[in-house]
A and B are shown apart, each in its own frame.
Chain A
Amino acid sequence: DAGVIQSPRHEVTEMGQEVTLRCKPISGHDYLFWYRQTMMRGLELLIYFNNNVPIDDSGMPEDRFSAKMPNASFSTLKIQPSEPRDSAVYFCASTPGVWNTIYFGEGSWLTVV
């Protein structure tokens, strides 16, 4: 299996622009997670889905952030408008079921200038 695939790997954008991060989970995994990693706050869970349905979005920082999972093989995390404090590494991860190992993608490195 190819693992969790994220795109883009790196993005530099200007403040105010819309940013869309994409994720393809491992086939057959029912859970998908979006995490954000920064030096100051570590790894934060933003939102997770079960069978394409958002279960917990309490970690989404504010209304500028939105996530969708239109089907079992694709998810997006959108930031609109982006701000410099959104600069971070955004990880997508998936797992076949609760209390299982979580498999991470390589991350999307976002810089907002």
Chain B
Amino acid sequence: SQQGEEDPQALSIQEGENATMNCSYKTSINNLQWYRQNSGRGLVHLILIRSNEREKHSGRLRVTLDTSKKSSSLLITASRAADTASYFCATDGNQGGKLIFGQGTELSVKP
């Protein structure tokens, strides 16, 4: 079974708008990671947030983590057409080394 579940499954926005994707998980974690996958390519790491962190920034990315609700969100500000991709959250489920991915959010940014 999936450890992380993303919401929404698909998101379509205009260039310049912000995109927010959510992730919920089931068990306790050591960290939560977000990855991006362009069509036909492998996954690329975006950001890692540890269980004792609440918010983290990287460029136009902002990730929040609420361990009491077992949820995380990824915000992409001022989106660009090049941000079009699938975005996945992944958790270790407190199992050290075993990273389980959600189903992903497919983001489409229209120019």
Tell me which residues across on chain B come within 8 A of A4, comparing CB atoms.
Answer: 42
Across the A-B interface, the 8 shortest Cβ-Cβ residue pairs: A104-B42, A43-B101, A98-B96, A98-B97, A101-B45, A104-B43, A42-B103, A106-B42
- Choose, from A13-21, A48-56, A68-76, A80-88, the stretch at the interface: A48-56
Q: Any chain A CB within 8 A of the CB of B31?
A: yes
Tell me which residues across on chain B come within 8 A of A35, comparing CB atoms.
Answer: 101
Q: Do B99 and A42 touch across chains, with their CB atoms under 8 A apart?
A: no
Q: How large is the interface on A (under 10, 10 to 19, 20 to 34, 35 or more residues)?
A: 20 to 34
A113 to chain B, nearest CB (A): 20
Q: Do A102 and B99 touch across chains, with their CB atoms under 8 A apart?
A: yes
Q: Do A105 and B42 touch across chains, with their CB atoms under 8 A apart?
A: yes
**Given known contacts A101-B33, A101-B48, is B101 in contact with A42 (CB within 8 Å)?**
yes
B90 to chain A, nearest CB (A): 8
Tell me which residues across on chain A come within 8 A of B35, comparing CB atoms.
Answer: 104
A-B contact count (CB 8 A): 54
Tell me which residues across on chain B come within 8 A of A107, comparing CB atoms.
Answer: 41-42
Other 15 A-B pairs with CB < 8 A, given A45-B99, A93-B43, A102-B33: A33-B99, A42-B102, A42-B103, A43-B104, A45-B98, A56-B98, A99-B50, A99-B92, A99-B96, A101-B33, A101-B45, A102-B45, A102-B90, A103-B45, A104-B35
Tell me which residues across on chain B come within 8 A of A101, comparing CB atoms.
Answer: 33, 45, 48
B99 to chain A, nearest CB (A): 6
Chain A's closest residue to B3 (CB) is A45
Tell me which residues across on chain A come within 8 A of B96, comparing CB atoms.
Answer: 98-99
Q: Any chain A CB within 8 A of the CB of B2?
A: yes
Q: Any chain A CB within 8 A of the CB of B44?
A: yes
Q: Any chain A CB within 8 A of the CB of B88?
A: yes
B105 to chain A, nearest CB (A): 12
Q: Any chain A CB within 8 A of the CB of B13?
A: no
Tell me which residues across on chain A come within 8 A of B14, comparing CB atoms.
Answer: none
Bound Cα distance from A98 to B96, whole angstroms: 5
